[in-house]
Structure 1
């Protein structure tokens, strides 16, 4: 990839949902505007324990974001704009694999010195319904989740409609046709893992119904043309137990099937390196259940996830090699709405049965506000390989420490340390130790 130092164009081809639509009466374009400058500095280390190429890099990114209010009148209009520049600080040749997900590569295979991105959203609001056309920076829908796990966020291009006209019911529909990955300033079409041809048509619609203040039901449908169709059902319930205690139930079910040319040359799914009843095609049902008991500053989480035998779980990304160009951000470049989307692994191959647990603690109860820690463990068994064998295993242990300065001159300055240890029987990813050290700071001046 050639070095990118300045944005080539303003990309008005994604979208953000905008400000809260629950307040149906607009206050004003300027009065409700907000401008924020934020910085993220990131150290990323990926230690391949099987002898492959290690990766160690440090970079920093500066982001400016402007979110307007809406003009007054029956229909209000607004605009959101965001721009960023990222600079590489360390780790050139020898520590920067050309096929990576952290920073673009220069023509000689080393890390580019810098790159940048700029984009925006045009939005309109009528009553409690909003339409946005432009960039969607951080979608968090069951069928579409942008990753923010590297130096910069991923975003998508298209349009989205969100309506909250009925109390307790949120309706969402949209279409996207491109994505800007987490390690590039370029936008591309859409695909799935293994895909080598773009699809420029991802459509979705869904509903979130808050039946009571403690119970929410979800249904979403999505279709990536020529790749897959996906139905999602979800339930979230929080049971208050009194005395700072609660019990949370989170149930998720995905049903994914082939669409159009899926399975043909160029539109094949690699089933995450595992078994497929019909090679190249999407055919999967995945359910998961998570239960969390919280008391005081403690939270204990236990869960199980089951991937069906016919093929791996599928989610939207940018493909691996499209039109002869490598897209390192493609395979796994988008996050997905499963509990097993861990630091290193994703536990999503055909037949995989994963048990997982997590313990976390908020140190506010000990007089240290802003400090939180967690440790989690995942173990997947009964994984079917490409030949149909089902005795493969993998596990991962993740540790996380977060601290945000709660007051004073550096109020809001945050530090995150994450470390993941992944091991398998050799049928999946290589054994890996991964460390991430992240510093974040944001300042709002409107």
Structure 2
């Protein structure tokens, strides 16, 4: 998942305002508010200009550039009263092409590709039924937007991708969240069709895991999964927030993946991936560093947003075989200068030791800058404007070669219920 290490101590995190997560909160059930009384509905809009300029010589397509706007209507019912509460959720999505040319198509915003701009719009409606049973346990069947280290929806373009399947969650023990499920089909971010095995045919994902908060400052996560005909993957992560003097804090995020070929005989997915991120918060400033390392016989392969590593950033994941990467990051909240709603982030990631070919070790780097502003008052209150810039320099054989990328995103969410 891009930027999946949450850097949770940073109050500067950019709010996309999309309201797309299908919530599984149990508060309404505990308060016995009922099916209608605790229902909610939001309508989110996101307009995206996306430009990716390929700088390496000899590329077939030198640039991808498109603009589109998308709407997501998300309805979540409450639960019926009684020992077993029943409810349903619905998510409806619409993507509309604003600008796309055949020679520049293929940004991922639209169902288009180089030489084909595709349809002018795409849409879909998905739903799920859910049940609340004893001890804060929720059963769900239908559409899912999972967000955990081994399977996670991706919302990096116009509309989120999603899964169809079934799951169970439990929060009956204070501080402990446990979940399990099986996702069978995946809908893409830029297509109204549902893909059966989008990465490799017949791909299904079964997962089990959870997070435990030992205190307000220390939490740990443990997950395991089996992607049918692909790999078995395990994850261990932890976050610790250390309060320092003068209202400063130091947050440590550790993430480790172990991936094996056990479910895919003859395949090469064997990988150990580890990242460690440190973030020093000092008032309206935050300073971060991170180290990430790949081991095993292959790089870290994934098919959705399930890459919760510190150096998985805007364009690159720094996940090639044997790759070692290093990050420096700075955030600033302009509320410190009397401009609430304005936030700035910049980071630089460099790597080495990539196993590019026998006896050949390669390197690469990426530099990202984000500027975000949320209107604080007036007729446009709540509108968020985000500019994301990335510069990537690497060998032509690695992930598209040299790239310059810009994304301009304007978003807003209406609370309907």
Give me the whole-angstrom Cα distance separating, in 2, the residues matched to 1:335 and 1:144.
5
Matches within 5 A, 1:343-382: 343-382=314-353
Give me the whole-angstrom Cα distance separating, in 1, the residues matched to 2:24 and 2:176.
17
| Residue of structure 1 aligned with 2:48, choices 2, 17, 42 | 42
Counterpart residue number, 2:66: 57
Counterpart residue number, 2:148: 141
Counterpart residue number, 1:282: 269
Whether the 8 Å CA contact 2:202–2:228 is kept in 1: the answer is no
Matches within 5 A, 1:306-385: 306-315=293-302, 317=303, 334=305, 336-385=307-356
How many residues are treated as equivalent by the alignment?
A: 392
TM-score, normalised via structure 1 length: 0.84
Question: Secondary structure of 2:103's partner?
Answer: coil
Question: Secondary structure of 2:299's partner?
Answer: coil
Counterpart residue number, 1:20: 25
Counterpart residue number, 1:166: 173
- The C-alpha deviation readout for 1:32-63, integer Å capped at 9, x for no partner, is 11111121110000101014311110011122
Query: Shift of residue 191 of structure 1?
Result: 5.5
| Residue of structure 1 aligned with 2:202, choices 198, 211, 215 | 198
Give me the whole-angstrom Cα distance separating, in 2, the residues matched to 1:400 and 1:149.
14
Matches within 5 A, 1:72-111: 72-97=81-106, 100-105=107-112, 109-111=116-118
Counterpart residue number, 1:268: none
Query: Shift of residue 144 of structure 1?
Result: 1.4
- The C-alpha deviation readout for 1:187-211, integer Å capped at 9, x for no partner, is 112364xx4x332x21000021111
Counterpart residue number, 1:391: 361
Give me the whole-angstrom Cα distance separating, in 2, the residues matched to 1:255 and 1:335.
13
Check if 1:407 corresponds to 2:407: no
User: How has the CA–CA distance of structure 1 residues 78 and 423 changed in structure 2, closer, same or farther, with 3 Å as cutoff?
Assistant: same
Question: Secondary structure of 2:172's partner?
Answer: coil
Whether the 8 Å CA contact 2:88–2:127 is kept in 1: the answer is yes
- The C-alpha deviation readout for 1:315-339, integer Å capped at 9, x for no partner, is 2x2xxxxxxxxxxxxxxx5452112
Counterpart residue number, 1:419: 389
Counterpart residue number, 1:328: none
Query: Shift of residue 390 of structure 1?
Result: 4.3
When structure 1 is superposed on structure 2, of 107-116 and 434-443 the one drifting more is: 107-116
| Residue of structure 2 aligned with 1:435, choices 386, 395, 406 | 406
Give me the whole-angstrom Cα distance separating, in 2, the residues matched to 1:245 and 1:189.
48
TM-score, normalised via structure 2 length: 0.90
Counterpart residue number, 1:129: 137
Query: Shift of residue 22 of structure 1?
Result: 4.9
Give me the whole-angstrom Cα distance separating, in 1, the residues matched to 2:115 and 2:176.
53
User: How has the CA–CA distance of structure 1 residues 215 and 89 changed in structure 2, closer, same or farther, with 3 Å as cutoff?
Assistant: same
Query: Shift of residue 18 of structure 1?
Result: 3.1
Question: Secondary structure of 1:365's partner?
Answer: helix
Whether the 8 Å CA contact 2:353–2:363 is kept in 1: the answer is yes
| Structure 2 alignment gaps of length 5 or more | 1-19
Whether the 8 Å CA contact 1:248–1:291 is kept in 2: the answer is yes
